Amino acid sequence: MKKMILILGVIIIVVVVLGLIFDWGRRDYTINPPADKSDLIQVFYPETGSVVKSPLHVFGKARGTWFFEASFPVILKDMNGNVISTGIAQADGDWMTTDFVDFTADLEFSTATGTAVSIGELILKKDNPSGLPANDDSISIPVRFAI
């Protein structure tokens, strides 16, 4: 009876350890598509899962309501949530409209060579001069770093 309990305990431990290892490895490489906000903002580059390098040229189009004074903030983070670059997306036309307006942004960054941090996210935030949480919005684009 004691042998059976010991064997069962060892089997349970092995299954738990293998489950943790499988989940840990999978989490490093999972890239989920961004929420669909194509009625507000459309990012043409980078696309979800794109391999990016510095300087990163971001472009797309957003509704004029996404801008304030013809711009909105752009943030690049690594998979640990560390901010590795920030910038400003600029409207390429009259932003005082509810129609789509082209935008561009350039971000320069560096990643440590040989590190396991190869995944990150590009966050495009709706400019919110009011500071009211109800007016906040953003889109997150998962990217891979060319390291």
Question: d(Cα 7, Cα 127) in Å, to the nearest integer?
Answer: 59
User: Kind of pairing, strands 100-107 and 83-91?
Assistant: antiparallel
Q: Please, are residues 10 and 17 in contact by the beta-carbon 8 Å criterion?
A: no
User: What digits encode the pLDDT tens for the residues 116-126?
Assistant: 558 899 999 99
Q: Which residues of 108-119 are buried (b: 16+ CB within 10 A; e: fewer)?
A: ebebeeeeeebb
Helices (H), the chain: 2-29
Lowest mean pLDDT among 15-19, 47-51, 65-69: 15-19
Q: Where are the beta strands (DSSP E) in 22-94?
A: 41-45, 51-52, 56-63, 71-78, 83-91
Q: Hey, what amino acid is at 33?
A: P
**Domains of the chain and CATH, by start:** 31-145 (2.60.40)
pLDDT digit string, tens, across residues 16-45: 666 555 544 444 445 555 678 888 999 999
Q: What is the DSSP letter of 96?
A: S
Quick check: pTM over 0.85?
no
